[in-house]
Structure 1
Amino acid sequence: MDQEERLLHASSFGAAAGAYAAHRPNYARAAVGWALAPAPGPRVLDLGAGTGKLTATLAAAGAEVVAVEPDPEMLTALRRSLPAVRALPGSAEAIPLPDGSVDAVLAGNAMHWFDMAVAGPEIARVLSPGGVLAGLWNLMDDRVDWVAGLARIGGSAVVGPRDTPSSWRAETAEAHLPKTAAAARFGSPERAEFPHGQLRTADSLVATLATRAGLLVMPDEERNATLGRIRAFLASRPETARGEFTLPLLTGVLRVRPCAGDSC
């Protein structure tokens, strides 16, 4: 994806903020706990917070969380659902917080939109000594037969390069973390995956998939045709044709810490 296409996809979510808030899954609590385990304190920045899916889990876990989100519509939805949380306009490339003010920076399904050459120094700047940076992604578990079939029917607009366990592992193996500026160097990444799931019906799963960037930027006719194929597929499968079912997910976590001195 070139820079222009990346920006188009990254900016597509605001128009669907209500549907995003209603239908996107939260994150496995065990994954959030693992992401935060090395943090030296409770102050957490949810960066690229969207409508607050990860923010809510952090707040429920007792973190002193502040959320930063660049899209006004997404930020409005976050503030509406989590009025007690401090939520600020800003981006990974321009974080509106003082130096050393948080013990962890977490990003839920967002880090791949960051320009890490710029965001890396910003993240390192706001982290306290010993702080941690972690990205979390919800992955469709295509080891399950019907989920693999859904991935084939939906194509790349529905299942992108970080949306299944194998593709996520490949993408994060080459995660771009700055190695040049001394203030922004990060150590070797650690990865872990945690079982998760989302209770859905066929209609609500279609609504969930419709919030993916690849579908949001499609022309209406093509998007409607893609969603129609997905509906037909779900109606054809005994696992999804009637009533509620669990969409099998994994929450994948990439965790890194800034280097101290010449430690990496």
Structure 2
Amino acid sequence: MTEQLLRSSFGAAAAAYAEHRPDYAQDAVRWALDVAPGQRVLDLGAGTGKLSATLLAVGVDVVAVEPDPAMLTELRRALPAVRALPGSAEAIPLPDASVDAVLAGNALHWFDMAVAGPEITRVLAPGGVLAGLWNVMDDRIDWVADLERVSGSAAIGPRDTLSAWRTATADMLGPVAHFRASEQAEFPHGQRRTADSLVATLATRAGMLVMPDPDREAVLGRVRAFLGSRPETAEGEFTLPMLTGVLRARRQ
């Protein structure tokens, strides 16, 4: 299964992504930015606007760039006040030194950093911040760790739990020139779910979207059965224990 197939899988599920994916913890976004309200921030690989919405909430000036037309349509529908442009991390449609921060929500791992790194450096003002944010499940909680085992790597992948995220992202910004050493931090978060809506959330993962229909239904069936067997998730709404993890570096 190629990286290109995975990264291009989301458009077919853009409406479900917009409905079921979580937003980002505001404290995480504030730490990632480390800039004052009113600063210019690029949401790169913006998807349906989950991170853009949180950026608006903390009071910064947002421009969003997204390569997938279906995802971009959902973003524009949800956030008509945000300037949203077609483009990619490897070809950013902005002038040199035009933003104070570049943030990527659950997207940095899809970038070709050999190409995207110089592009991000080009559009980022000196001293500006580059940060990736990921919403991760808190696998220190027993039932979440059990869910990970039941679901398999297609539904809960290599950056989707706290312990895996820490390892997978630690050196992600190392190859990017002209940036100081990166920092990691994690901030409490959560998403209100039911068993059905959590299944729907997991179905928007890239590994699930590219899976043959019978295999996907088998995985989702195991997840439904597991959630129905646990007192934490069997009845009504519950809070999915999460954190927003941040990887941050500053341009020299």
Q: Could you tell me the TM-score, scaled by structure 1's length?
A: 0.93
Q: Is the aligned partner of 1:59 residue 2:56?
A: yes
Does the 8 A contact of 1:23 with 1:208 survive in 2? yes
Structure 2 Cα separation of the partners of residues 40 and 178 of structure 1: 30
Q: Partners in 2 of 1:41 and 1:117 — Cα distance? A: 30
Name the SS for the 1:160 alignment partner: coil
How many residues are matched? 252
Q: CA deviation at 1:254?
A: 0.2
Looking at structure 2, the residues matched to 177 and 74 of structure 1 have their Cα atoms a distance apart, in angstroms, of 29
Q: Which residue of 1 aligns with 2:4?
A: 7
**What is the root-mean-square deviation of aligned Cα atoms in Å?**
1.3
Q: Is the 8 A contact 2:37 2:58 kept in 1?
A: no
Q: Secondary structure at the match of 1:194?
A: strand
Matched, 1:226 2:223: no
Q: Are the equivalent residues in 2 in contact too, given 1:39–1:103 (CA < 8 A)? A: no
Aligned to 2:183: 190
Q: CA deviation at 1:41?
A: 6.3
Q: 2:29 is matched with which residue: 32, 53, 59?
A: 32
Alpha-carbon separation, structure 2, partners of 1:218 and 1:197: 27
Higher mean C-alpha deviation, range 246-255 or range 30-39: 30-39
Following TM superposition, the consecutive aligned residue runs of length 4 or more in structure 1 with deviations greater than 4 angstroms are 38-41
Residues 129-208 of structure 1: pairs in structure 2 closer than 5 A:
129-178=126-175, 184-208=177-201
Quote how far apart the aligned CAs of 1:38 are: 4.7
Q: 2:103 aligns with which of 106, 110, 121?
A: 106
- Give the superposition deviation at 1:165: 1.2
Which stretch has the larger CA shift, 48-57 or 34-43?
34-43
Please give the per-residue CA displacement for 1:6-63, whole angstroms capped at 9, x wherever unaligned: 1100000000000000000000000000001157961000000000000001011111
The 3-state SS of whatever aligns with 1:222 is: helix
Q: Is 1:116 the equivalent of 2:113? A: yes
Equivalents in 1 of 2:121, 2:21: separation in Å? 29
Q: Secondary structure at the match of 1:117?
A: helix
Tell me by how many angstroms 1:206 deviates: 0.3
Contact 2:203 2:220 in 1 (8 A): yes
1:102 & 1:251 partners in 2: Cα distance?
A: 23
Aligned to 1:243: 236
Whole-Å separation in 2 of the counterparts to 1:174 and 1:255:
11
Partner of 1:73: 70
- Deviation, 1:99, is 0.3
- For 1:256, the equivalent position in structure 2 comes to 249
Query: Does structure 1 conserve the Cα–Cα contact (< 8 Å) formed by 2:156 and 2:202?
Result: no
Tell whether the 8 Å contact from 2:40 to 2:101 is kept in structure 1 after alignment. yes
Residue 27 of structure 2 aligns to a residue in which SS? Answer: helix
Q: Kindly state the Cα deviation for residue 257 of structure 1 after the two structures are TM-superposed.
A: 1.2
Query: Which 5+ residue runs of structure 1 have no aligned equivalent?
Result: 260-264
SS in 2 for 1:242: coil
Cα displacement (A) at 1:159: 1.5
Contact 1:40 1:131 in 2 (8 A): no
Q: Distance in 1 between matches of 2:36 and 2:8?
A: 30
Q: Is the 8 A contact 2:188 2:243 kept in 1?
A: yes
Aligned to 1:262: none
**Offset, 1:166:** 1.2
TM-score (norm. length: structure 2): 0.97
**Partners of 1:96 and 1:110 in 2: CA distance:** 17
Identity of aligned residues (%): 75
